[in-house]
């Protein structure tokens, strides 16, 4: 559970310093990577997918499935409050946007056409996540520590 005191709130300048150009475009400007190009498409290594902006755990590898959409898809987040959902009415559509609950970074969208048991498809940009192999500790990014690679 992300407590308000655990939130990571940074200025736009600080985000630009921490993130790569593509991470910044997706996470902070609500961009979308092109379908079929994300590094986590078709992968199945055990572990946890964390937010590329702040390190918060988002999804378990066991919840990942191949949706055929061109983006990594998950049936549910690691915890119900790991992500926040917002109404997105951009591009003449009504969708549900998914953001990291800790840093408010744009991750992707959730749709009601996933497999059982949830029936949900969290369609997430690869660039918005990092993968931690099973057994590696989750390390949250704190303010003052740049993460750009």
List active site positions: 123
Reported in sequence order, the residue ranges of 3-149 that DSSP labels E, i.e. its strands, are: 47-51, 57-60, 64-65, 73-74, 83-88, 95-100, 106-111, 121-124, 129-133
Residues 6 or more apart in contact with residue 128 via CB below 8 angstroms: 23, 26, 27, 51, 52, 53, 100, 105, 106, 107, 108
């Amino acid at each position: 559970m992300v407590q308000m005191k655990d939130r990571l709130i940074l200025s736009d300048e600080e985000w630009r310093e921490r993130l790569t150009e593509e991470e910044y475009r997706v996470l902070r400007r609500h961009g979308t990577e092109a379908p079929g190009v994300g590094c986590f498409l078709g992968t199945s290594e055990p572990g946890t997918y964390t937010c590329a902006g702040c390190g918060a755990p988002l999804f378990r590898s066991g919840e990942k499935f191949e949706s055929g959409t061109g983006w990594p898809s998950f049936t549910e987040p690691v915890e119900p409050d790991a992500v926040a959902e917002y109404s997105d009415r951009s591009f003449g559509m009504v969708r549900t946007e998914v953001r990291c609950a800790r840093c408010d970074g744009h991750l992707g969208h959730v749709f009601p056409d996933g497999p059982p048991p949830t029936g949900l498809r969290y369609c997430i940009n690869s660039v918005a996540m990092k993968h931690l192999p099973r057994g590696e500790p989750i390390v949250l990014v704190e303010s003052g520590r740049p993460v750009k690679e």
